[in-house]
Amino acid sequence: MNVTQSIDGERLIAVFTAVVEQLGRALPRSYELVLHDLSKLPNSIVAISGEVTPRLVGGPATDLLLKQAATGKFESKLDYDTHAADGRKLRSSTMIIEDVSSRPVAALCINADLSVWEELQAVTQQLVLMNASPGLAEAAPAAPPPPSRGERGQETFVRDVDELAAILIDEAIRGIGVPAELMQKQHKVEVVRDLKARGLFLLKDAVQLIATELSVTRFTIYNYLNQIAEEEEPAGQDPAPSEGTSHE
C-alpha cells in the first residue's frame, strides 16, 4: 500500500515530531519513542528519542509495520512483548495516526526496556530475603536468564533495510522446512507468497535478493508473483499479465 501524504498528514507529522523530541527528554532512558511517516516506507523513521533499539532517523520500518503496509490494513497494537537484538525484553505499543479523512499517515511507537526493572526487582527481592533470613537469600531461585539472541517477540527492530530483508527471507525459508538448495518449484512459490504477505516486495531490490537466495532468475520471481496473483484473483477477473518467462 502506497501512502500519499495529505496536507493534514504533513501537519500531524510535524506535531508528533515535536512530541517525540520534547516528551523524549522527559522519559527515562529505558523508554524510546519512534515516529514513522507512512508515506516514506520502507525508510520511514522521521523522529526518534531514546536508545532502546539501535535506530536513527531515516531508518526502516519494523517487520510488523511493513506487513501492515503490504495488506493495506494499518492497526494500532498496544502493550505487546518484543525483544531487542541483544536479547533484552521489551514492551511495545504502536499507535496509527490518521488524518482528518481517516487515512493512516503515521505510526507512533513506544518501546520500554524491561530488563532494567527486572534486574531491580531481582536485587530488591534478594535484599528483602537477606533482611528476613540470610539462609533464604541463598535458597531463593535465580532470576530467569534473558532470552537468547535467536529468540524474538512480535516485532523485529533493525538498523537498515538490508538487515530487515535478510531476516524476512531467512524466516520465510525456515518456515518451509526445506533448505533452499533442495527446494522444488512449489516450495519456492510458497516462500515468495510468504514474503509478499510480509511486505518484502516493498523494499528496493527485493526481487533480486530473493532470486539470489532461491537460485532462480528475476523473471522467475515475477512469474511466481503472477501465479500467486492469479490464485488470489476473484473468479471471473482477468489475471495480471506476465512480466517474463522461466524455465523453473
What does the pLDDT look like over 26-83, one tens digit per residue? 998 899 999 999 999 999 999 999 989 989 999 999 999 999 999 999 999 999 999 8
The pLDDT score that the predictor gives to residue 238 is 54
The pLDDT score that the predictor gives to residue 155 is 86
Give the pLDDT mean for 201-206.
Answer: 92
Quickly state the pLDDT bin for 87 (edges 50, 70, 90): confident
Q: Is the pLDDT of residue 143 over 70?
A: no
Please state, in angstroms and rounded to a whole number, the distance separating the CA atoms of residues 199 and 212: 18
The pLDDT score that the predictor gives to residue 43 is 95
C-alpha cell at 161: 533495510
| pLDDT top residue among 215 and 152 | 215
The pLDDT score that the predictor gives to residue 29 is 87
Please state, in angstroms and rounded to a whole number, the distance separating the CA atoms of residues 126 and 138: 9
Please state, in angstroms and rounded to a whole number, the distance separating the CA atoms of residues 88 and 112: 10
pTM value is 0.77
Q: Report the b/e string of 161-200 with b at 16+ CB within 10 A.
A: beebbeebbeebbeeeeeebeebeeebbbbbbbbbbebbb
